[in-house]
A and B are shown apart, each in its own frame.
Chain A
Amino acid sequence: MRETKGVSVSVSSAIERAVRVETKREPLPPRERLQQVFEIEDLSADYGSNPALKDVSMEVYKNLVTAVIGPSGCGKSTFIRCLNRMNDLVPGFRQTGTIRYHGQDIAAKDVDPVAVRRTIGMVFQRPNPFPKSIQDNVAWGLKVLGMKDNLPERVERALTQAALWDEVKDRLKVSALSLSGGQQQRLCIARAIAVEPDVVLMDEPASALDPIATQAIEQLLHELKSEYSFVIVTHNMQQAARVADMTAFFSISRGDEGERWGELIEYDATEKLFTAPSDKRTEDYVTGRFG
């Protein structure tokens, strides 16, 4: 660790700075006092005959931001897509293990994935607004799901929560495709929270955005986490350090016959994981020495 070269030193000091800034907020209560949203046990996932994840066990807590970090291909997307049964749509996908959501196993075959996704929303890596007006993007889900009372108020509330209202309030009827990438992503967040989910999953929501738009989204996570629980995948360690209360580090393991799969290496309070990781692989990764 001491003999790291200039680059990684500056990366880690940037992280430390970010952590120091963020940890001014109140310290996390001990884990047993936190309420569990997800209790994941021995989750394994395969695409056809290729393993993607093996034996992931962890808990996700209520009203926290939980970050998932790790190198490309370690199964971060696969993991969070398991949490709302999004992978059901992928041909050849199989998973084993249990994912208990407030005590109920949502990975079970007889659970309706539509009902799961109704309470566990998702925001994707690339903004994917519907080719409809800004207003209809938010309102469509509400209408379909029968939340038709106070529709305009609901739309306004969601757009306000997503820090987009001021920018679009004068052109709600304009096509959502005319918005900038960052605005589109915030619109997708508004769309997801408008239907009042319990958990919002985000798969690298800021990876296509500039620093200012990214900051807006991070700010939004802080403000909304009293109402929702967030699980956010990110490539950006500073971002994890800034926004997350808990952080899970995934990495790639290799088998004897060259097969590769993702594994959960370490899961802890963000500050602990970044400043005093207990696994060598985590340390290498967060100090930028990942190879």
Chain B
Amino acid sequence: MSAADLGMLQRPNDRLRRRRAVNRGMELLAWLAAAIAVAILGIVVWSVAKRGAGELNLDLLTKPPVPFAIGPVQQGLANAFAGSLVIVGLATAMALPVGILVAIYVNEFAPRPIRLGVGLTLDVLNGIPSIVIGIFVFGLLVVGHGQKGWVGAFALAVLMLPLAARSMIEVLALVPGSLREASLALGVPRWRTTLGIVLPQTVGGVVTGTVLAVARVAGETAPLLFTSSIVGNQTSWNPGHALQSIPVAIFELSEQPDPADHARAWAAAFVLLLFTLFASLSARWLATRSRRKIGRAGR
């Protein structure tokens, strides 16, 4: 390269300078957008923690609320925590097996058109607002029969189903086809191949998808308002009755005039937030682990 060329590089002309400015501008914009996303999470966590962490104690988890309390009675939300556990647990038990079976059918057995059709259905189902699911289940199971914990669980299960199925489909797609071929070439039927070779590869992925789906629906309020919200204060584990839940409790407490109720609402919100954060992070961790494992198997 001659000296003249080097001089050109050292003394950039106008166009070059402008290009650099645009480049730097775009970089800054992208950085800002990323910073905003992080900041929003930070602000949410911080503001909930600030108001809720102080109220967080063992009594909140173990003591039931006391109606018309006079004086400094220790009040808790045990009924809401117990109810959420039952409802979300039941919802998972309903949605997970169906989701896994749907995914297995779609990924391992279905012809292409059906696969696309079911995939689209899952996407649409996933996009339906939860309040619509709530009123649908209300019309289907609550009208004339009353609210029940398991009906609330059913509504949440409808929300979970597309999440569970979608994530399972993704995991199944990661299992290398060469493993299926290896088994089929031995003269092993499809279903035995699926059970014995494909599914064991997906355990990590199933756990990840489940954790994410649970985290996602644990905070759902709308479907539960219709199906499991008219409740007393005693702690119950019986899904045959309407059960209180954390999100509904937060909603109701926030409507009360008493600042002590607001404080408990914040504390419950903080618990929900911690749970979601923990679930997301552990799901992340599990996902990388299982992906690495499947990757090793494929090669």
Contact = CB atoms under 8 A, between A and B. Distances in A.
Interface of A: 84, 86, 89, 91, 114-119, 121-122, 124, 126-131, 140-141, 144-145, 177, 188, 191-192, 195, 197
A100 B278 CA distance: 61
Nearest to B180: A89
A140 B198 CA distance: 13
Interface of B: 112, 176, 178-190, 192, 196-197, 200-201, 293, 296-297, 299
Contact of B187 (A119, A124, A140): A119
B184 A86 contact: yes
A190 to B, nearest CB: 12
Given A126-B299, A131-B297, A177-B296, A145 B178 contact: no
A144 B296 contact: no
A188 B183 CA distance: 11
Contacts of A128: 176, 178-179, 181-182
A141 B179 contact: no
29 contacts: A84-B185, A89-B184, A114-B184, A114-B188, A114-B190, A117-B186, A122-B181, A124-B178, A124-B182, A128-B181, A130-B182, A130-B183, A131-B200, A131-B201, A131-B296, A131-B297, A140-B183, A140-B196, A140-B197, A141-B187, A141-B188, A144-B192, A145-B186, A145-B187, A177-B296, A191-B182, A195-B186, A195-B187, A197-B187
B186 A141 contact: yes
A125 to B, nearest CB: 9
B58 to A, nearest CB: 44
Among B178, B182, B187, B192, which residue has the most Cβ atoms of chain A within 10 A? Answer: B187
Given A128-B182, A144-B192, 14 more contacts: A86-B185, A89-B180, A114-B190, A117-B184, A117-B186, A118-B186, A122-B181, A129-B182, A130-B182, A131-B296, A145-B187, A145-B188, A177-B297, A192-B186
Nearest to B184: A117
Contacts of A117: 184-187
Nearest to A181: B299
Contacts of A129: 182
A225 to B, nearest CB: 19
Contacts of A140: 183, 196-197
A92 to B, nearest CB: 9
Contacts of B184: 86, 89, 114, 117
A89 B200 CA distance: 21
Contacts of B185: 84, 86, 117, 121-122, 124, 192
A191 B187 CA distance: 12
A121 B296 CA distance: 25
B242 to A, nearest CB: 47
B112 A91 contact: yes
The 5 closest A-B pairs by CB, nearest first: A118-B187, A131-B297, A122-B185, A141-B186, A128-B178
A232 to B, nearest CB: 15
Nearest to B296: A177
A65 to B, nearest CB: 19
Nearest to A125: B178
A91 B176 CA distance: 16
A187 B5 CA distance: 61
A117 B293 CA distance: 29
A121 B197 CA distance: 18
Nearest to A119: B187
B182 A188 contact: yes
Given A144-B196, A177-B297, A130 B179 contact: yes
A117 B201 CA distance: 24
A124 B186 contact: no
A116 B183 CA distance: 14
A53 B188 CA distance: 28
A112 to B, nearest CB: 9
